[in-house]
Amino acid sequence: MANKISPGALVVLFHFAIVIMSQVTLAERNSVEILPLAGSEMCKHGDIYQQGYCSPTHNSHCCQNWCNRKCTEVHSSVVNEKSRKFTDKGSPKLECQCCCKNLSLPRPPPPIISLPVPPPPPKLSRLPPVKLSTTQLIVSSPQYSSPQPSLKARPPTAPGNVCKSGDIYSELRLFDTRECRLCLVECKTECGSIGTTIAKQVCLFEANSLLCKCCCKNINPSLPPPSPSPPPPSPFPPPPSPTRPPQPSPSPPTIPGNICKAGDIYSELRLYNTRDCRLCDEDCITECGFTGTSLTEQVCLIESDSLLCKCCCKNNNPSTPPPPQSPPALSPPPSPSLPPPAVPGNICKVGDTYSELRIFSTRDCRLCEEQCKTQCGFMGTKMAEQMCLVESDSLLCKCCCKNNSPTPPPSAHPPPQSAPSPPPPNSQILSCPAEMTILISTIPGQEPCKYTLSPSPPPYHYLSQI
């Protein structure tokens, strides 16, 4: 006798079939690897977070089966799983959330933490780029967005070292495709959004997506640090070196590169962040204009991060050649009414007092003006003119001090008896023919004061009273 199925059993089988078929309709979410301070709070660092929906059912076994299947696809196991029941337009649904263990980071299984179930996530398109320092990490998801990372988090290291030093790293994830050419298109778009171009891209096939690793060129490399500024010049000139005392009339120094003629004034300028040599010509003309001269020659050298401009300015006041050496005359000292000898460089008027100063280890011509004023103040007069010549390792300062002493009127009395004849010239006098004696009278009728101009007293050429 054949077995018959009761109507009650048929009803049970019919409902069981409906439950089984309802579990087939499953809205899967995309898998996202949890990074530092980014991802679901129910997963630990390194775990893989999965989210999906089961409908139309409220049976929690649907979420358990789905989580096991998703973790098996990535060769992992479930370490945490949650489900939440809700109704969408009258249809029962389950929101499934699970964490798959990251096998690349072995550690003891984490405890299950009970947290309040979050509300259903809004449906969003791809997340905007999250900028962390110079490295960008972009995780795309068409329907789900994980919490954005804190800006204080340490930027992740670019996997695989696909970028060069200084480039910008970015990740994109594409789902439901196996075409790597889409990675190239997306990487170009990503680099263009930050105003740069693509340098390299890598396409990795994963279980249900493509991982695109992009390298964008860094178009703003950091500039080299500026060279340290030279120390401020000392208010007092440094003492002369005992091994190399300053010479009274040194020969013109050799100009670097031999681009200047003898007597011209050499100057260097450095221009940063340009490679236009026309700027050297303009700046050299301006530099020579500061000294009241004209440009005779300029050279532009293009260096790694700057231009070196070498300028030659014409010397409108070349030094006069020294007088020929001759023994001093045996005649008495010259009368105060006689004009003083010609001044080197012709920068002083007749009757003014000329003096030279040399300042080492500086190129600041303002010091010449200060020292000339001080020098003239020592003689009770004022500065009339000064000239600064920049040499290889020093400044040559030429000073003119005003002659405040009027010429005394001719006396009705006979001139005083001439001084006795000087002793015969010795070897020291013969070797210093540039030494001279000057008589200056400040009050008419008073005996004049006697001064001598010495050629080589260190560190400056001062007028000393005898």
> pLDDT tens digit string along 230-274?
666 666 666 665 555 555 554 444 444 457 877 788 888 888 888
Distance CA 342, CA 434 (A): 12
Q: Which amino acid is at 331?
A: S
Q: What is the pLDDT of residues 45-87, one digit of tens each?
A: 778 888 888 888 888 889 989 899 888 988 889 988 888 999 9
- Name the residue with higher pLDDT: 24 or 119: 119
Q: Is 304 exposed, middle or buried (0-12, 13-18, 19+ CB in 10 A)?
A: exposed
Residue 414 lies in a domain: no
Distance CA 350, CA 272 (A): 47
Residue 90 lies in a domain: yes
Q: What percent of the chain has pLDDT over 90?
A: 3
Q: Are residues 91 and 140 in the same domain?
A: no
Spatial CA neighbour of 132 closest among 150, 146, 109: 150
Q: Which amino acid is at 229?
A: S
Q: Are residues 55 and 115 in the same domain?
A: yes
Q: Are residues 109 and 154 in the same domain?
A: no
Domain end, chosen from 61, 88, 121, is at 121
What is the Cα gyration radius of the chain? 47
Q: Are residues 117 and 135 in the same domain?
A: no
Query: What is the model's pLDDT at position 68?
Result: 92
Q: Which residues pair with 170 in a beta bridge?
A: 214
Q: Which residues pair with 299 in a beta bridge?
A: 310
DSSP for 167-205? Answer: -EEEEEEEES---THHHHHHHHHHHHHTT--EEEEEEEE
Distance CA 49, CA 66 (A): 13
Query: What is the model's pLDDT at position 67?
Result: 92
CA distances from 23 to 17, 20, 27, 375 (A): 10, 5, 10, 105
Query: What is the model's pLDDT at position 433?
Result: 43
Which of 6-20, 314-328, 346-360, 376-390 has the highest mean predicted lDDT (pLDDT)? 376-390
Distance CA 31, CA 207 (A): 10
Q: Are residues 48 and 67 in the same domain?
A: yes
Q: What is the dihedral of CA 82, 87, 88, 91, to 10 degrees?
A: 110
Residue 409 lies in a domain: no
Residue 101 lies in a domain: yes
Q: Are residues 348 and 453 in the same domain?
A: yes
DSSP for 31-42? Answer: PEE-BTTBS-TT
- Name the residue with higher pLDDT: 217 or 345: 217
Distance CA 413, CA 411 (A): 5
Q: Are residues 393 and 442 in the same domain?
A: yes
Q: Are residues 110 and 148 in the same domain?
A: no
Q: Are residues 108 and 151 in the same domain?
A: no
If DSSP codes are grouped into helix, strand and coil, which group holds residue 360?
Answer: strand
β-strand 394-401 against 353-360: which pairing, if any? antiparallel
Is the distance from CB of 135 to CB of 156 less than 8 angstroms? yes
Residue 438 lies in a domain: yes
Q: 302: domain range? A: 262-313
Q: Are residues 191 and 142 in the same domain?
A: yes
Whether pLDDT at 24 is above 70: no
Q: How many CB atoms lie within 10 A of CB 50?
A: 28
Q: Are residues 299 and 194 in the same domain?
A: no
Q: What is the pLDDT of residues 194-238, one digit of tens each?
A: 888 998 888 888 888 888 888 898 876 555 555 666 666 666 666
Distance CA 150, CA 160 (A): 24
If DSSP codes are grouped into helix, strand and coil, which group holds residue 54?
Answer: strand
Residue 241 lies in a domain: no
Q: How many CB atoms lie within 10 A of CB 191?
A: 22
Give the containing element (helix H, strand E) for 19.
helix 7-22
Q: Are residues 94 and 134 in the same domain?
A: no
If DSSP codes are grouped into helix, strand and coil, which group holds residue 431?
Answer: helix
Residue 63 lies in a domain: yes
Scan for tokens 């967005």, then name that residue.
Answer: 145
Residue 176 lies in a domain: yes
Both tokens of 187, joined, read 């990487």
Task: Please tell me what DSSP assigns to residue 81.
Answer: E
- CATH number for the domain harbouring residue 286: 3.30.1490
Residues ≥6 apart with Cβ < 8 Å to 134: 155, 166, 168, 218
Q: Please give the tally of structural domains in the chain.
A: 4
Query: Which sign, positive or negative, has the C-alpha torsion 397, 402, 405, 409?
Result: positive
